Chains A and B, each alone.
Chain A
C-alpha cells in the first residue's frame, strides 16, 4: 500500500475546513427557515447531469446520492473525492438587489471495497446551509415611526455519513447510509433606533442541532444487449433533530442584558423517498432521470409561521463520453454532461408556493492514475417577487477532484 502524503494533507485539511467554513455560506434569504436550504447531494458529476444519480452506478467515482452504488466500485481502488463550490448569487426585491459571492469546500468523501460485493464509504459534506442578511423595519409601537431591523443568519448542518452498498445478488444492490447530522445556526436580529438616538440592541440565537439519520436505497441493473438499464430508489423516514439554543441580548458596547441556554422545539427532517432510472449505451451515452418527494406538510417548522407543503423534485441529465482510449486526444477522453431540474420548496410564504429550477452542464477531465477532475456548472432560479418576496438567481460552479489510489493492488513482481 502506497500512502500518498499529499492526499493525507488534503483529507485532513478538508475535514477541518468543511467543519469550520460550512458556516460561511451565503445561501439565500429563504434559508432562514427550518434548518436552511437543503443541499443537493452528489458531486460535480451529478451536478452536471441535473443532480441525477439514484440509478447511476459508480465504478470510478463516488456516487453519494445512492449508497447502493458503492457495490459497483472497482475492487482494487481507494477513491477520494474533494468538492469545491463557488456561487454567485443575486437576490432581488421589487426595488433592490443584493449580490453575493462565496466559495468553500463543499464536501469530502472516500470509498473502498470491503469485499467484492461490499463497498463502503465515508463522507463529510454540508447537509443544509443558512446564510442571509436582510433589512426590514418594525413599527415603534405607540408612535407613528418605525425603526430599522437587520436579520442575519449563518451556519448550517453538516453531515458525516457512513455508507455501505452490498450486492445482494447479481445486478441488485442495497445501500444504507448512517449519518450524524450536527451544526450550529446563528441568527442575529439587530434593532437600531436612529430616530430616537436609542442604543442598538442585538438579539442573537445560536441554535445547536444534532442527531443520526438513516437512509435506505437500492440499485438494479438490467443488461439489454448494447444498452444497460438501471433503476434506483431511496427512502428516509422522518427524523427529529435534537435542538437547543443559547439566546443573548446585548448592546453595541457588548453590555449583556440577557443570556440563557434553552431547549428549543426539535427540528424535523421529513419522510422522503425517490426513484431514478438510467439508460446507458455502450459507455458512450448515458441518460438519467430522478424523482424525489418529501412529506414536508407534516413538518412543523419551529421558527416560522409560514406553511409547509409536500415537495417534488424532477431531475434529468445526459452524459456523452466520446472515447475511452488513452491514446486519443484529451477532448475525446473527456465526458460531457447536460442536465435540468425542477424542485418545489417546502415553504409557502404569503400564499406564494416557491420553487426552483435550473439547468446544468459539466465535464470530466481524466488525470494521471485514473484520477478525475470534474467540473459542474449550474444556473438556478428561485423565489418570487410576488407579495413582496425575493427572487433569486444562482450561478454555481463545482470543482471535484477524484483521486483513484490503487491501495489494494498486489504486485506480482517484487
Chain B
C-alpha cells in the first residue's frame, strides 16, 4: 500500500502543455492598451560650432566646392617644414634639379571631380603656432605669399589615391641649400631654419576647381622632396626629403561663403536657427561644425499621464531630405548627444548595454519618402519625465562622428517636424495600465 501511495504522489505533480491557443479579440477582457502618442511634438534647429579642430588628424582637405544648397567652401591645408637630419651638400659636385611638394589623396572627395583641380602651393609668411588648447581649427588662417611657388592642374577621380607631385619654384631649393650652407653647425640651426622656411599652404583656384579632396597626413606620403645630382664620372641622382611637421603643424582651414544659404545666419555657437526659418530643413556637416538640435517643447504633456502608464518605446525618427543626398551617401550612423540651453554638448546617449546609442537606418528605395534614422531614446525620455518639472531647455544634438570632424565636408539635410515630405518626429508608444 505504501508503495502505491508513493507512486501516486510521484505522479501527482506533473504538468505540461503543447501548442499555442490564439483566441479572437473579445474573448478576454483587458483594460490595458498601447497607443502611439502624437502630442509630443519636437522642434529641430540648426546650430553651428564656433570652430572645429582640424589639426592632429590623419587627413586634411584641399579644394574648392560651390554647393548650390550650402554655398561655397574652400579648404586650404597648411604645413610646417623642417630639415632632414644629417643633411649634407657637396657644393663642388652637387647640382639642384628641382624641388616638389608630394601629397597623396586618400580617396575622399566631394563636388565635381570631373573638372580639373588646380593646385597652388604658397609659402607661408608666418610660422604655424598652435593655440592655447594645443590645436588648430577650421577657422585659423596663416598669411602666405600671394605668388604661388608652384601650380598644377589635373583630374582626380573619386577614390583615386595616386601621389601628386607639385613642382615648386627652383629658387626655393637654392634658398634652402644656401641657408643650410651658411648656418649648419649653429646650435640654433633648426630654429633658424623654421623661421626662414615657415611652411606651405596648399589651396586650389576657385575658377576651374569645383571639388574638394582629402589627402593623407602621413610623413611617408606627404613631404618636400629635393631632386639633385652629382656630376661625377657617372651622374648620380640624389633625392632628399624634408619632413612637413605633420603632427604638430598641419591643419585645414575651411572658408565658407554661403551668403545665399539660410544657414549663413548662424554666427555664434549659441545661436539656434529654428526649422521655421529654413523651410523645415536642418543641416549637419562636420567640416564646419553644423549640428542639429532637437528640443521637446511639450515633453511636460507626458507628466500628466505619467501615473497612468509607461513608455514602451520612444522612437526618434529623423528623415533625411532625400532631394540632396543619394542612398549610397547616407552615413550608416549618426550620433546623438545631450545638449544644454547654450548649445554645449553633453554626454552621448547610451543604450541599455551601456554602449553609445546608434540609430537604425531604414531605406525606402522604392518610394523615396520613408528613409529615416531611428533612435530608441526610451531610456532618455523615461529619465526626463522623472524630473519634477521637465526642463525644456535641455535637448539633444545630432552630428556625424567626431573622428572625421574637419576631415570631410559631407553634409546631410534633415527634415524638421513641420517638413511635409520628410518629417522628423518623436513616436511614443505608451502602455496604459488598467489601474483603478
Residues of A within 8 A of B (CB): 6, 10, 13, 17, 21, 24-26, 29, 32, 82, 84, 86, 91, 93, 95-105, 133-143, 147, 149, 151, 189, 191, 193, 196-199, 201, 203, 247, 249, 257-258, 260, 262, 303-306, 349-350, 367-368, 371, 373, 387-390, 399, 401
Question: What is the distance, in angstroms, from A356's C-beta to the closest C-beta of chain B?
Answer: 17
| CB–CB A99/B17 < 8 A | yes
CA of A99 to CA of B17, assembled, Å: 6
Query: B233 at interface (Cβ–Cβ under 8 A)?
Result: no
Q: Which of B11, B21, B34, B376 has the most CB of A within 10 A?
A: B21
Is B312 on the interface with A (CB-CB < 8 A)?
yes
What residues of B have a CB within 8 angstroms of the CB of A24 in the complex?
A: 13, 15
Using A100-B16, A101-B14 as known contacts, list a sample of 14 further A-B pairs with CB atoms less than 8 Å apart, ordered by residue number in A: A10-B5, A93-B22, A96-B19, A96-B22, A98-B17, A140-B34, A141-B33, A196-B312, A196-B429, A203-B433, A247-B435, A368-B1, A390-B23, A390-B27
Q: Which of B24, B35, B37, B313 sits near A197, CB closer than 8 Å?
A: B313
**Binary contact readout B135-172 vs A (1 if CB under 8 angstroms, 0 otherwise):** 00000000000000000000000000000000000000
Q: In the complex the two chains form, is A17's CB within 8 Å of B14's CB?
A: no
A203 to B28, CA, bound (A): 14
Closest to B15 in A: A102
Contacts of B15 in A (CB 8 A): 24-26, 100-104
Given known A196-B313, A371-B1, A388-B26, contact A104–B21 (CB-CB < 8 A) = no
Cβ of B431 < 8 Å from any Cβ of A? yes
Contact (Cβ within 8 A) A140 B35? yes
**Cβ of B38 < 8 Å from any Cβ of A?**
yes
Q: Does B310 contact A (CB under 8 A)?
A: yes
Report the minimal beta-carbon distance from A368 to chain B, rounded to whole angstroms. 8
Q: In the assembled complex, how far is the CB of residue B360 from the closest CB belonging to chain A, in whole angstroms? A: 9
Bound Cα distance A197, B314 (Å): 10
Interface string of B247-268 (1 = CB under 8 A from A): 0000000000000000000000
* Residues of chain B whose beta carbon lies under 8 Å from any beta carbon of chain A: 1-2, 4-5, 8-9, 11-30, 32-38, 310, 312-313, 315, 376, 378, 429, 431, 433-436
Give CA–CA (A140, B9) in the complex, Å: 47
What's the Cα separation between A91 and B36 when bound, in Å? Answer: 34
Q: Is the CB of A151 within 8 A of B376?
A: no
Contact yes or no, A149 B30, CB < 8 A: yes
Docked pose: A105 CA to B38 CA in angstroms: 53
Q: How close is A308's CB to chain B, nearest CB, in angstroms?
A: 14
**Given the complex of chains A and B, what is the CA–CA distance between A349 and B23 in angstroms?**
13
Residues from chain B with Cβ under 8 Å of A203 in the complex: 32, 433-434
- Who on chain B is nearest to A20 by CB? B13
A135–B23 CB distance below 8 A: yes
In the complex formed, the residue of A with least CB distance to B20 is A135
- Beta-carbon nearest neighbor of A389 in chain B: B27
A260 near B23: Cβ-Cβ < 8 Å? no
Name B34's contact: one of A96, A193, A305 (CB within 8 Å).
A193
A198 to B24, CA, bound (A): 23
A390 to B20, CA, bound (A): 12
**Contact between B19 and A98, CB atoms less than 8 A apart:** yes
Could you say which residues of chain B place their CB within 8 Å of the CB of A138? 25, 30, 33-34
Chain B residues lying within 8 Å of A389, measured Cβ to Cβ, are: 23-24, 27
Query: What are the nearest 9 A-B pairs in CB distance?
Result: A388-B24, A142-B36, A198-B313, A141-B35, A102-B15, A198-B312, A98-B19, A98-B21, A100-B17
Which residue of the partner chain A has the closest CB to B30?
Answer: A189
Q: Which residues of A contact B38 (CB under 8 A)?
A: 142
29 A-B pairs, CB-CB below 8 angstroms?
A26-B15, A29-B23, A32-B28, A98-B17, A98-B21, A99-B19, A100-B17, A100-B18, A101-B14, A101-B15, A134-B22, A134-B23, A134-B28, A136-B24, A137-B25, A138-B30, A141-B33, A141-B34, A199-B378, A249-B433, A258-B435, A262-B436, A306-B29, A373-B4, A388-B23, A389-B23, A389-B27, A390-B27, A401-B8
Q: How far is the CA of A305 from the CA of B29 in the complex (A)?
A: 7
Give the distance in Å from the alpha carbon of A196 to the alpha carbon of B378 in the complex.
12
CB-defined contacts of A140 to chain B, threshold 8 Å:
34-36, 429
Min CB gap B408→A, angstroms: 31
- Shortest CB-to-CB span from A391 to chain B, Å, is 11
Q: Are B8 and A82 in contact (CB under 8 A)?
A: yes
A93 touching B5 by the CB < 8 A rule? no
Distance, CA A336 to CA B262, complexed state (A): 96
**C-alpha gap A189/B16 in the complex (Å):** 20
Cα A263 to Cα B436 with chains together (Å): 10
Pick from B27, B34, B36, B434: contact of A136, CB below 8 A.
B27
- Tell me, in angstroms, the Cα distance from A98 to B19 when the chains sit together: 4
Q: How far is the CA of A203 from the CA of B30 in the complex (A)?
A: 10
In the bound complex, do residue A367 and residue B313 qualify as a contact, i.e. CB atoms below 8 Å apart?
Answer: no
Chain A residue at smallest Cβ distance from B34: A140
Q: Across the interface, which residues of A come within 8 angstroms of B2, CB to CB?
A: 6
Q: How far is the CA of A160 from the CA of B306 in the complex (A)?
A: 44
**Residues of B close to A306: CB separation below 8 A:** 29
In the complex, what distance in Å separates the CA atom of A373 from the CA atom of B8? 12
Beta-carbon nearest neighbor of B315 in chain A: A196
Q: Kindly provide the distance from the CB of B431 to the nearest chain A CB, expressed in whole angstroms.
A: 5
Tell me if B30 and A151 are in contact (CB < 8 A): yes
Docked pose: A304 CA to B26 CA in angstroms: 10
**Complex: how many Å from CA A290 to CA B19?**
37
Name the CB-closest residue of B to A387: B24
Give Cα A305 to B31, complex, Å: 11
B347 → A minimal CB distance (Å): 22
Chain B CB count within 10 A is highest, among A142, A373, A399, for: A142
Chain B residue, CB-CB nearest to A24: B15
Complex interface: chain B residues within 8 A of A247 (CB)? 435
Q: Tell me how far the C-beta of B79 lies from the nearest C-beta in chain A, rounded to whole angstroms.
A: 49
Enumerate chain A residues within 8 angstroms of B26, measured Cβ to Cβ.
350, 388
B5–A401 contact, CB under 8 A?
A: yes
Nearest to A13 among chain B residues (CB) is B9
The answer to whether B8 and A258 have CB atoms under 8 Å apart is no
State A196–B431 Cα separation when bound (angstroms).
13
Shortest distance between the CB of A378 and any CB in chain B (Å): 18
